[in-house]
Amino acid sequence: MNQTLANPSFSSSFPLPRGRIAIVSASWHREIVDRARLSLRAELEAQGIAPESLEEFDVPGAFEIPLHAKLLAQSGRFDAVIACALVVDGGIYRHEFVAAAVIDGLMRVQLDAGVPVFSAVLTPHHFHEHDVHREFFAAHFVEKGREVGRACAKTLQAIAAMETAARLSPPSARPAAPARPVAMPG
């Protein structure tokens, strides 16, 4: 999500079919992760999503996020799930493996559950516990929170538009299902 959305402003409000968006945040480096959580909430509200539609969940670390996201997505209560975490190299294991597992898990949840899942799970190449890095990543997480909030709002609007178009189009206007290949006797 390193891009700027061409039209970051949407209608003043739009309904959520299930009425909720789940935000799952890791507790490690909370002072940095909270920057993304707070800025994505502000962005979703600016896009017309009511604050009471946002439900927050805390997990110990990033590795726990995919299972939590899966349970939330499968519950049928949420229109989208947003994950926030900072994965750093703790010196015991390679953080790239944790980050890859988290992102792969989130994508699998999205595809299996049919509920959009968004990621503000970031993995800096080098993170050191000093003021310069904490300040830099805190500011970076504010921007990433805005980006993920805009992406969530835009995606939910696009899905709603597709669902509305499908309901409104007569069956004759809908494309026919692709023909299945017929096995030819050998």
Task: For tokens 């050191």, name the residue.
Answer: 128
What's the token pair of residue 72?
Answer: 């939330």
Say which DSSP state 123 is in: -
Residue 57 CA to residue 81 CA, distance in Å, equals 10
Backbone angles phi, psi at 184, to 5 degrees: -95, 135
Angle at 153 between CA 125 and CA 163, to 5 degrees: 125
Residue 87 CA to residue 123 CA, distance in Å, equals 5
Q: Which residues are catalytic?
A: 94
Q: Say which amino acid occupies 36.
A: A
Residue 41 CA to residue 44 CA, distance in Å, equals 5
